Structure 1
Amino acid sequence: MEKKRQQQLTRWLRQQRACARPWTTLSTLLGLASALLIIAQAWLLATLMHHLISEQQPRAQWLSTLFLLLLCFAVRALLSWLREQAGYRAGEQIRRALRKQVLDRLQQSGPAWIQEKPVGSWASLLLEQTEEMQDYYARYLPQMTLAVLIPGLILLVIFPVNWAAGLILLATAPLIPLFMALVGMGAADANRRNFLALARLSGDFLDRLRGLDTLRLFHRGAAETRAIAAASEDFRQRTMEVLRLAFLSSAVLEFFASVSIAIVAVYFGFSYLGELHFGHYGTSITLFAGFLALILAPEFFQPLRDLGTFYHAKAQAVGAADALHTFLSSQPEVTSAEDKPEFSPDRPLQIDASGLMIMAPNGTLLAGPLDFSLSPGRRVALVGQSGAGKSSLINALLGFLPYQGSLRINGYELRDLPRRDWHQLLAWVGQNPHLPERTVRENVLNGQRVSAARLQEILALAGVDEFLSRLPLGLEHEMGDQAVGLSVGQAQRIAVARALLKPRQLLLLDEPGASLDARSEQHVMRALLAASQQQTTLLVTHQLNELAQWDEIWVMRDGQIIQQGSWQQLTSQPGPFATLLTHRQGDIA
């Protein structure tokens, strides 16, 4: 990773601290208070040793000093515990804020963008990579301040007692952060590569797990097992590389700290032997001065050593921040709801497209140019071969894909409307039902309040009542993740019931019966056909059955609408629709 990129990520990480600044400040203050107690503790211990060894005072005269020393130990332990708690709270708040940013951006980007990456990579971004921020904010950032303040306080105490010992500490201190930075630059790059390997491994493993039946069917189990093993070995090697750098950093810090402390000890040893006669301001060197300097010398380097210990937390955070920062900053800016006028139409929806070019998130043209008009109350079936651009049009109408040209809702550009207000006006049923709530009732109601009679009417219309009695708890049946315990057809019927229950002016249907058996498809399509007569509806389908009941049929090919008309018009004249009807016999492949 380039140095400029590391600096950019470091600045970004520090900006995220704003939401937890009180906790990080408290952690720093508690660390500073603990350092003051360390100095007081060293002073008391040196005084106690001086009284016992040099002056040989009776016990009654040094008992108070011993009591204060023990009190310092107890208070330091309490402060250390409080500091750990404050640091944890700081990291917890920032992790929550980062996850909220990621989830908000995913919601803004929509499913069309999310599907470009494996689910495992998003899980890695939200879990592992965000979790790696904890120690950076809980320990490293407060320790950066303490690594400057605590050695400065110790030097203020040592210099008046012995300037030679203070100079030794002052001269050797810069060596530690210098070598720590040199090792840390390599550690950040290694962590970044490690996170990339973890994201790939997570995505590949989840994709293979989901497709396990297909892999077995085509006898690809052994080959995919070897691929997972190779990816795991690559991740293991990268992890060991990170650990090697972390151990190297610790070894460097310990070496220079030990050398410096040894020099201080040698200086005092020769001073006591009468070989060195400088450093104590022309007076005789005392046992108190030697004890104080030797006790504080390790404490002088301890904040720097702790910073080195936590430096791997910075390297991990920078490596994790690379993917987070890229994701949060690379998406097209979505205007906040506060910057957009409230949209609450006072008349039925009129949708008009002129020169509409539907783009992928990366800028690739998906469909267009499109020119059409969808009048209030019209029921339109959109047909065409796979890849013609039908689902892209649905995603554009949902507001999940960027576009060029014009796509107006009652005269307003769709891109200028608050997405929340727009989504309140429409209902959508796709190919794969998404049931995020815990129970069947919660998934159908989706936060709405309706009467029991209305709920039963909707359940009967969608065909949910047919299998509801077979569920152990009926409407209170817990489905779990991925609608476990329900067939695809049953889950789709619940999704249809949810759409039918929602007040709406536009109903978007993206092949709702594509994955269903004949009986489930019959229930779903019958319910949707009845619902389509109550509002404007756009149906994407590969099936030509019963299209005669729809007001209009649009035929798409290569991203463009090439034919429009009613069933009678399109079947009575030669053209793309008649060709599809003849060759596919009601089933467009």
Structure 2
Amino acid sequence: MNPRLLKEVKSVQTLLGLVILQGVLSGILIIAQASVLALIVSRVFIGHQTLASVQHLLWVLLAIIVARAVLTWLGETGSLALATRVQSSLRMRLTQRLLNAGPLYVHAQKTGELVNTLIQGIEDLEPYLARYVPQIAITALVPTIILVEAFSRDWITGLILLITVPLIPFFMILIGRQAESSTKRQWETLSRLSAHFLDVLQGLTTLKLLGQSAGQARGIERASDEFRRATMASLRIAFVSALVLELLASLSMAMVAVAIGLRVIPGRMPFETAFFLLVLVPDFYLPWRMLGTRFHDGLNGMEAAKRIFEILDAPELAKAGGTMRPAAVDAQPIVLNRVGFQYPGRSEPALQGVSAVVKPGERVAVVGPSGAGKSTLLALLMGFAVPTSGTIALGDTPFTSLDLAWWRQHVMYLTQNPYIFAGTVADNLRMARWDATDAEIRRAAERAGAWEYIAALPQGWQTVLGEGGTGLSGGQKQRLALARAYLKDAPVIFMDEPTANLDPETEAELWGHLEALLTGRTAVVVAHRLSTARRMDVVWAMNHGQLEQVGAPRELERVPGLYRELIQAYAPLPEEGHYASLHRAAETL
């Protein structure tokens, strides 16, 4: 039993109560059916009565059978409704948890494994919730009712049932431990296979160019075969479990039959009672056998539940924040006071002691070598993580008291590789503002320099784009992202060098539109090119998670320090101009 899942089931305890009630009523009807059937057979076989004399009993038996069928249907429906509600709740909470955790948490996980947990893992909970949990209640109640009735009719039969029944859960426990271990390996193998397969699909171009696609195909084949072996091992244990349970139940029923037969033949037990008990005993062991079967059906769900609750219980990098919404965001400075951040599980901090101020309307370039903490700083400013030390504030309001959802509505983020969702061009633009009119969409596209190529598409802005913007060039994707920024019209802009992957001509053209976007707005730009840094008002030079220099670009070029070292690392050759050397400094930053 998974205690966390049982707590989830308690949220739908009304449905669970109805399912348990169905089990109790079914137990009573089982006894009634056996009693009526025994009475009919006894009157016809022993009393030699005609069909007319037992016709009313046959109608009663038919009514009981129909009632059992209706109760079984209601129980199945209620169990499925119970499972669906719990699954829906967990899926929503898991999705919300991943969204709240932000990109820092998600990027640290295996995407394929997360997808497998969110989709297949949630689906695997259905056998556990709809079959196994209700069966536990039925197994506890129905055999108890039958046992009491058996003792009231014949204490010897009742004693045999009482002595033999503990053997079933004992062997279930022994086999169940092996099954749980095997199912854990199966689930882990499936998660690795899902993650590996997604990695192969995403890196297919690179694999083709490196000539490794065939090798990766063989790797997937090996992983698939490992999953097959793990699955067959689980099935083998399940079949052994079913064999053991059937054998124990059969031997127990045989003992009851022998004990009854030895007393019926000499006439020490009435035929009706003996027949009633023989009909009733199989239904005493049936719930136990069903429990064993449904235990194995629900094992995948129990393993998936462990991963689901592991994600739900993971430390939150991005917390919900508070409720404060300061007025005039465009007039508020962003203040960093000795900000430090350390990723869970890492020994070295990503940021330490960063203190600086982004003034309203100021454009800040963040430069530094790889691993300096630039991207982490942006994530903190967007509220995707909370500093482990120090504070970040919007004016006088700490981010911990800020309504982060409201804050992100006032922020726009442009990255090196903007993501284009599967859907129409208009749908992708309306990601920024769902209530935007067609005229506003066109105006934003024109300001971003995107309208010309959008109009040239087969259906214009109603053209359906593939996942990741299939069919669009890098410059077209950036213009589309820029159009989103114009449409959102946020007072604060964060950028991670949106022109890093563009050729110089496209970069120069895009910067013409970016300059217009940044005018009058507060901006923090992670600059991978020195040409980008020189366009900004202020430069923050970072190294090893620390802020080493702050100042205007031209001023920092003339004083010793990190920024000057980055420039001198790519000093211009005699035949080159200074701007050409700055272009070659991109990779250093």
State the TM-score, normalized to the length of structure 1. Answer: 0.92
Q: Aligned-pair distance for 1:451? A: 4.2
Alignment of 1:539-578 (within 5 A): 539-545=525-531, 547-578=533-564
Give the alignment partner of residue 588 of structure 1, picking from 573, 576, 586.
Answer: 586
Cα distance between partner residues in 2 of 1:566 and 1:336: 35
Match of 1:271 in 2: 263
Cα distance between partner residues in 1 of 2:434 and 2:299: 47
Q: Aligned-pair distance for 1:53? A: 0.2
Give the alignment partner of residue 216 of structure 1, picking from 199, 208, 212.
Answer: 208
Alignment of 1:231-250 (within 5 A): 231-250=223-242
Answer with 248-257 or 562-571: which moved more: 562-571
Cα distance between partner residues in 2 of 1:344 and 1:472: 45
Q: Against the structure 1 CA distance between its residues 66 and 488, is the aligned structure 2 distance closer, same or farther, given a 3 Å change threshold?
A: farther
Aligned-residue sequence identity (percent) comes to 33
Cα distance between partner residues in 2 of 1:23 and 1:264: 37
Matched, 1:469 2:455: yes
- Matched position secondary structure for 1:160: helix
Cα distance between partner residues in 2 of 1:397 and 1:150: 60
Match of 1:281 in 2: none
Cα distance between partner residues in 2 of 1:258 and 1:480: 60
Structure 1 contact 191–320 (Cα < 8 Å) conserved: no
Cα distance between partner residues in 2 of 1:101 and 1:477: 34
Gaps of 5+ in 2: 571-580
Alignment of 1:135-214 (within 5 A): 135-214=127-206
- Matched position secondary structure for 1:205: helix
Q: Aligned-pair distance for 1:255? A: 1.1
Alignment of 1:446-457 (within 5 A): 446=431, 447-457=433-443
1:491-549 per-position Cα deviation (integer Å, ceiling 9, x unaligned): 33222211222142211001212233455534443322211112100111212225443
Cα distance between partner residues in 2 of 1:229 and 1:525: 47
- Matched position secondary structure for 1:159: helix
Match of 2:424 in 1: 439
Matched, 1:367 2:365: no
Q: Aligned-pair distance for 1:96? A: 1.4
Cα distance between partner residues in 2 of 1:437 and 1:332: 29
Match of 2:15 in 1: 23
Structure 2 contact 146–280 (Cα < 8 Å) conserved: yes
Amino acid at match of 1:28: I
Give the alignment partner of residue 289 of structure 1, picking from 273, 278, 288.
Answer: 273
Cα distance between partner residues in 2 of 1:105 and 1:516: 35
Cα distance between partner residues in 2 of 1:360 and 1:449: 38
- Matched position secondary structure for 2:45: helix
Matched, 1:527 2:508: no
Match of 1:351 in 2: 334
- Matched position secondary structure for 2:153: coil
Structure 1 contact 379–551 (Cα < 8 Å) conserved: yes
1:134-174 per-position Cα deviation (integer Å, ceiling 9, x unaligned): 11111111111111111121123222222211111121111
Matched, 1:379 2:363: yes
Q: Aligned-pair distance for 1:565? A: 2.0
Structure 1 contact 27–142 (Cα < 8 Å) conserved: yes
Structure 1 contact 140–310 (Cα < 8 Å) conserved: yes
Amino acid at match of 2:107: Q
Q: Aligned-pair distance for 1:19? A: 3.3
Give the alignment partner of residue 328 of structure 1, picking from 283, 307, 312.
Answer: 312
Q: Aligned-pair distance for 1:327? A: 1.9
Answer with 149-158 or 309-318: which moved more: 309-318
Match of 1:130 in 2: 122
Cα distance between partner residues in 2 of 1:526 and 1:21: 62
Cα distance between partner residues in 2 of 1:360 and 1:396: 12
Q: Against the structure 1 CA distance between its residues 554 and 86, is the aligned structure 2 distance closer, same or farther, given a 3 Å change threshold?
A: same
Structure 1 contact 24–138 (Cα < 8 Å) conserved: no
Amino acid at match of 1:129: G
Answer with 418-427 or 546-555: which moved more: 546-555
Q: Against the structure 1 CA distance between its residues 49 and 519, is the aligned structure 2 distance closer, same or farther, given a 3 Å change threshold?
A: farther
Match of 1:280 in 2: none
Matched, 1:342 2:324: yes
Q: Against the structure 1 CA distance between its residues 217 and 271, is the aligned structure 2 distance closer, same or farther, given a 3 Å change threshold?
A: same
Q: Aligned-pair distance for 1:582? A: 4.4
Matched, 1:308 2:300: no
Alignment of 1:39-50 (within 5 A): 39-50=31-42
Match of 1:4 in 2: none
Q: Against the structure 1 CA distance between its residues 508 and 98, is the aligned structure 2 distance closer, same or farther, given a 3 Å change threshold?
A: same
Q: Aligned-pair distance for 1:391? A: 0.9
State the TM-score, normalized to the length of structure 2. Answer: 0.92
- Matched position secondary structure for 1:549: coil
- Matched position secondary structure for 2:435: coil
- Matched position secondary structure for 2:302: helix
Amino acid at match of 1:381: A
Q: Aligned-pair distance for 1:54? A: 0.4
Q: Against the structure 1 CA distance between its residues 47 and 521, is the aligned structure 2 distance closer, same or farther, given a 3 Å change threshold?
A: farther
Structure 1 contact 553–565 (Cα < 8 Å) conserved: yes
Q: Aligned-pair distance for 1:29? A: 2.2
Q: Aligned-pair distance for 1:251? A: 1.4
Cα distance between partner residues in 1 of 2:11 and 2:47: 55
Amino acid at match of 2:455: S
Cα distance between partner residues in 2 of 1:516 and 1:292: 85
Cα distance between partner residues in 2 of 1:472 and 1:37: 67
Cα distance between partner residues in 1 of 2:505 and 2:238: 61
1:49-78 per-position Cα deviation (integer Å, ceiling 9, x unaligned): 001100011111101111221222223223
Amino acid at match of 1:504: A
Matched, 1:414 2:425: no
Q: Against the structure 1 CA distance between its residues 582 and 471, is the aligned structure 2 distance closer, same or farther, given a 3 Å change threshold?
A: same
Structure 1 contact 360–402 (Cα < 8 Å) conserved: no
Structure 1 contact 433–492 (Cα < 8 Å) conserved: yes
Structure 1 contact 399–415 (Cα < 8 Å) conserved: no
Amino acid at match of 1:360: Y
- Matched position secondary structure for 1:434: coil
Structure 2 contact 100–319 (Cα < 8 Å) conserved: no
Matched, 1:317 2:301: yes
